[in-house]
Structure 1
Amino acid sequence: MKKIILSAILLLLFAIPGYAVSLPERLVYDVSWTGISAGRTVQEAKVVGDEIRIVSTTKSLPWLKVFFPVDDRIESYVMRSGAGGKMGLPRIYRERMNEGRTHTDKQVFFDHRKQTALTKDYRGKSEKEDPIGNNTYDTLSAIYFMRGIEMIPGKSVFIEIFDCKRLWRTEVQVLRREEITTPLGTFKTVVVKPLLKSPGIFARTGDIHIWVTDDVLRLPVKMTSKVKIGSITATLIGGTYWQNEQSALKQ
């Protein structure tokens, strides 16, 4: 189950765009394994000065801690661009992950002028520099970038993602529209299928499907993925976000 809970949440938050994300935003997810609640993920994004700061934390529930404790924190510092302060390119990415006996602490410094990414591994006491493209994102900033691009069912969108190891060109297929029911209610959604290649970040073992609301908010409400034993489901259960200066969802 290495990195499965984190992977589920990161994948779930790929949204079908066409609309700007309303900040600040806080989304809370229940992550279950074969129908049993196993963890919670909270993802928050807010504007701080001339940056957008995104923080994602994942923790296992008490029953799972006995067998497989998870305590992850991922951060992305993204530059704002244009008069409207929209999402720009990432400046710094940091991941501190504690999953069972696996522990990582890495930080990436992006230099978009030189098109390089400097990765520092604090536990391994090493660093390396890799080439990146004109529009390269980390795994967190990619989430919000995707939420700002128009997608059409039957077509694919591609995005460059640097995962602390190498640059990946990731295809996201937009499959269909579908109505689903969750603990928060019934939603008209669009179903997305990312074709992931990076085993280090996403622990890909089976097809992943994501449901996002087919409305102005484009909220990712559900994700399912098969794993070696059973399946993982991540479901939006609460949080707060703002649309037209009003709180729309609370927990």
Structure 2
Amino acid sequence: MLKLVAVVLILFLFSGREPQRLTETPVESSAIDLCEVGNSVFQDGETITYKLYYNWNFIWLAAGEVEFKVKTYPDFIKVSARGKTYPSYEWFFKVDDYFEAHLDKETLLPTLSIRDVHEGSYTRYDKVILDQKNHQATYYWGPDKSNTQSAQKVVSGCMHDILSVIYTLRNVNVGSWQVNQQLPVSIFLDKEAWNVGVTLVDKYEEKRIKGQGKAQTHHLEPQLISGNVFKEGDQMQIWVSADANHIPLMIESPVSVGSVKAVIKSWSRLKYPFELDNP
């Protein structure tokens, strides 16, 4: 069964079973250091909500919403995302997923990652403690928080999770990239480390955002990994605001059955002014 909210949460997707080989990238990519990016884009209290749609037999169904939040503490930044299906969609498939990450304030690298998934009859709990300095991941997994196994794995010293990479990439000046430039990213997910990439398709592209208006955007294409959600050759498209906030405005992607779309619905406490032209 399609894990709709999980697909959208992984905006720059890193799910599946077999990593694909990264294509050759321009030299400039190596100059972008995702190990110590720092934060100049988001602030305490930022909240962004997306409306999710699922296309089934040429019909777009409003399926649910995902809400992203930022909370700053003295020693770390907590970022979280909760995705839920609408009651009207739950006859088809019910989802209530929660993702959380604790980020180092200086580097934005994660020290803790939590995933608590409830999708139909399927449940899954994951907790990862990342020791970036000593290159070690201690991870716990099981059907729920009270019933887990644990293990350790040696990882690189610059390892992200699915939430940290979203907020880290928002702090990268995509507008300075070359078209077709690809940025490699390392991420820990499902007890494994993955090497994937995101490519710039176009810069300063005008895009109409459903229900919101027009915006100047940067058009990105994340690398997808074929598996139980995506088929070989599938492509995801992401349009990110070409302003100081760098927020994803719309995401479109095929999945194994049908396609999904996430469209920004509301936002508050952004660090910089943001508005779209009239719809």
TM-score range, shorter chain: 0.7 to 0.9
2:11 aligned with 1:11 = yes
**2:50 corresponds to 1:29:** yes
After TM superposition, list the pairs within 5 Å mapping 1:35-184 onto structure 2. 35-81=60-106, 87-123=107-143, 125-151=148-174, 152=177, 153-177=179-203, 178-182=205-209, 183-184=211-212
Q: Could you say what secondary structure the match of 1:141 adopts?
A: helix
Aligned with 1:136: secondary structure? coil
Distance apart, 1:220 and its partner CA: 0.8
**Partners of 2:13 and 2:223 within 8 A in 1:** no
Note if 1:191 corresponds to 2:211: no
Q: Percent same amino acid among aligned pairs?
A: 24
How big is the alpha-carbon RMSD for the aligned residues of Structure 1 and Structure 2?
Answer: 2.4
- Would the aligned equivalents of 1:9 and 1:234 in 2 still touch at CA under 8 Å? no
User: SS where residue 224 of structure 1 aligns?
Assistant: strand
Task: Structure 2: state its 5+ residue gaps.
Answer: 15-33
Contact kept? 1:240, 1:248, Cα under 8 Å: no
Q: Which amino acid aligns with 2:184?
A: F
Q: In the TM superposition, what is the alpha-carbon distance from 1:69 to its structure 2 partner?
A: 0.7
Runs of 4+ in 1 over 3 A off after TM superposition: 246-249
Q: 1:179 touches 1:186 (CA, 8 Å); kept in 2?
A: yes
Residue equivalent to 1:2? 2
Aligned-pair CA distance for 1:125: 2.8
What's the CA shift string for 1:75-129, capped at 9, x where partnerless?
0011112xxxxx4321111110000121001100111222011111143531111
Q: Alpha-carbon deviations, 1:25-79, whole Å to 9, x = none?
A: 1110000011210010000112111100011000001122122110001100111
Look up the SS of the partner of 2:270 in the other structure: strand
Number of residue-to-residue matches in the alignment: 239
TM-score, structure 1 normalization: 0.87
Q: Distance in 1 between matches of 2:162 and 2:150?
A: 19
Give the match's secondary structure for 1:125.
strand
